[in-house]
Amino acid sequence: MQLEIESRNVAMTPRWKAEIEARMQDLQRGHDDLLHGRVTLTKNRHHKKQAKVAEALVVVSLPGRHTFTARKEEKTFEEAIRSAFAAVETELRKYREKRARKEVRLPPLPPYRGVISKLFPDEHYGFILQDGGGEVYFHAHALQGLSFDQVEDGMEVLFNLEQGEKGPQATVVMAPNPLESKVSV
């Protein structure tokens, strides 16, 4: 990992530099995903009347254009360095935990069943006869995993239902078995 350490309006001390290098190594411990790190210490001259004149800016970059930044102002540079690194460490931990999860989220299946009853191919819409009776309008945009050309009269479908301007309307229409939506050659 490439590390840049710089200071503005204050001379960098060997103690600050050693602490920054050690904290950057701690961020990398157990992970080899950090590409670049930059730490800037700045003495804020415009804060003379305020207690917080020491600022630490920590920026780390990971693959995939992920950048984490923390800027902390404290009374001393030691405190500012600790605060900024703690903030970056928290964000990196959250990011790494999220990336480590292997759960796959599948969208829930639509709750209603029915059969395609009418098709209007030129207009790209049709109607579904609901189980229990009643027709529901659907447009080609509501099809998921199916093209309008694959839909046929009498085909069983699952769908979501909402009240449209002119009556019940299917917002999602899909085959009950995902394999049915594949075109056989």
pLDDT, block means (10 residues), the chain with 185 residues: 93 96 91 90 75 91 90 94 96 87 72 94 94 91 91 93 89 77 44
Residue range(s) defining the domain that contains residue 162: 112-181
Domain assignment of residue 86, yes or no: yes
Please check whether residue 176 lies inside any domain of the structure.
Answer: yes
Predicted confidence at residue 184, as pLDDT, reads 44
Q: How far apart are CA 30 and CA 19, in angstroms?
A: 19
134 shares a domain with 57: no
Specify the number of domains making up the chain. 2
Between CA 123 and CA 140 the distance in angstroms is: 9
User: Residue 157 in contact with residue 113, Cβ under 8 Å?
Assistant: yes
Half-sphere exposure of 3 (CA within 13 A, CB side): 15
In a domain, 165, yes or no: yes
Q: Does residue 107 form part of some domain?
A: no
Which residues are within 8 A (CB) of 142 and not within 5 positions of it... i.e. 6 or more apart? 159, 170, 171, 172, 173
The CATH number assigned to the domain holding 33 equals 3.30.160.100
Residue 106 lies in a domain: no
Do 134 and 171 have their domain in common?
A: yes
6 and 96 together in one domain: yes
Q: Answer yes or no: is 13 within a domain.
A: yes
